[in-house]
């Protein structure tokens, strides 16, 4: 398949960023990203579009009447079916009760589980903190809705770090010591798999460290990129 085709790259990137690309197709897309500049650019373009939309829209709390209408549209038929089977139970006794319970459970299990949207954090470069030979860097961090995986992607192609330096990603709490999420690349996307990535996390930061990472368990070099987490 020719992933350099603009139409195909745009469609796959849009579905990936919106969270509608699932399972093997999503994993295949992530595997192809490092080797296909067109896919990387399309994904970045869609992330920027969604961020602009998010900044332009003010959050509005739905009224109780709106929530009631949504609930009725989603579950009204299911509840009507449950009430009908409850009447049937009274007519048919214990055997009818077992049948009604089985059918009701089947209806409830058939409802698809809600898909939690990813959380996108734009990490801005910190030029004032850059040391000689260290280039400020900008990233986009995409955290899965369940908080178990993070994909960190550089916003600028060709970002580089000195040969005797490395970049390390940190989860920064509102108070206390940052915790390391591991070394990351300045040139391509890095996937981080951790449990509870969002727990006690107020921001993400990238620091410059020795090749093997911070020797102290806390940032030792300049902070080159920071992004606040807004839930």
pLDDT higher at 12 or 157:
12
pLDDT of 69 reads 73
Q: Nearest CA to 168 among 157, 177, 179? A: 179
At 25, the pLDDT band (50, 70, 90 cuts) reads confident
**3 state SS for 59-87:** CCCCCHHHHHHHHHHHHHHHHHHHHHHHH
Classified as helix, coil or strand, 35 is helix
At 24, the pLDDT band (50, 70, 90 cuts) reads confident
Question: Whole-angstrom distance between the N-terminal and C-terminal Cα of the chain?
Answer: 38
With 80 as the cut, is the pLDDT of residue 112 above it?
no
The domain made up of 119-228 has a fold known as Immunoglobulin-like (2.60.40)
pLDDT of 74 reads 65
With 50 as the cut, is the pLDDT of residue 108 above it?
no
pLDDT of 170 reads 92
- Polymer length in residues for the chain: 231
Rounded to two decimals, what is the model's pTM? 0.50
Report H helices in the chain: 6-18, 23-32, 37-56, 64-110
Reported as a single tens digit per residue, the pLDDT across 86-99 is 554 454 555 555 55
Reported as a single tens digit per residue, the pLDDT across 202-221 is 999 988 889 889 999 899 88
At 168, the pLDDT band (50, 70, 90 cuts) reads very high
Q: What is the average per-residue pLDDT within 94-121?
A: 59
Q: Where are the domains of the chain?
A: 6-56, 119-228
Rg of the chain on CA atoms, in Å:
24
With 70 as the cut, is the pLDDT of residue 228 above it?
yes
């Amino acid at each position: 398949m020719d992933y350099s085709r603009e139409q195909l790259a745009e469609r796959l990137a849009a579905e990936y960023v919106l969270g509608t690309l699932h399972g093997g197709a999503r994993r295949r897309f992530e595997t192809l990203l490092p080797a296909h500049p067109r896919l990387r650019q399309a994904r970045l373009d869609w992330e920027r579009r969604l961020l602009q939309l998010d900044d332009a829209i003010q959050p509005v709390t739905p009224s109780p009447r709106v929530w009631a209408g949504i609930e009725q549209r989603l579950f009204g038929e299911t509840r009507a079916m449950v009430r009908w089977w409850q009447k049937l139970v009274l007519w048919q006794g214990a055997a009818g009760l077992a049948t009604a319970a089985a059918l009701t459970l089947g209806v409830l299990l058939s409802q698809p589980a809600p898909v939690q949207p990813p959380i996108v954090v734009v990490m801005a470069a910190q030029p004032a903190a850059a040391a000689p030979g260290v280039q400020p860097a900008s990233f986009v961090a995409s955290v899965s809705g369940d908080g178990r995986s993070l994909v960190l992607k550089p916003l600028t192609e060709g970002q580089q770090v000195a040969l005797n330096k490395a970049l390390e990603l940190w989860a920064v709490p509102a108070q206390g010591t940052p915790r390391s999420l591991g070394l990351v690349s300045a040139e391509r996307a890095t996937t981080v798999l951790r449990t509870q990535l969002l727990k006690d996390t107020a921001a993400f930061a990238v620091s410059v460290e020795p090749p093997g990472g911070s020797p102290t368990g806390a940032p030792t070099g300049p902070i080159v990129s920071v992004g606040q987490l807004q839930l």
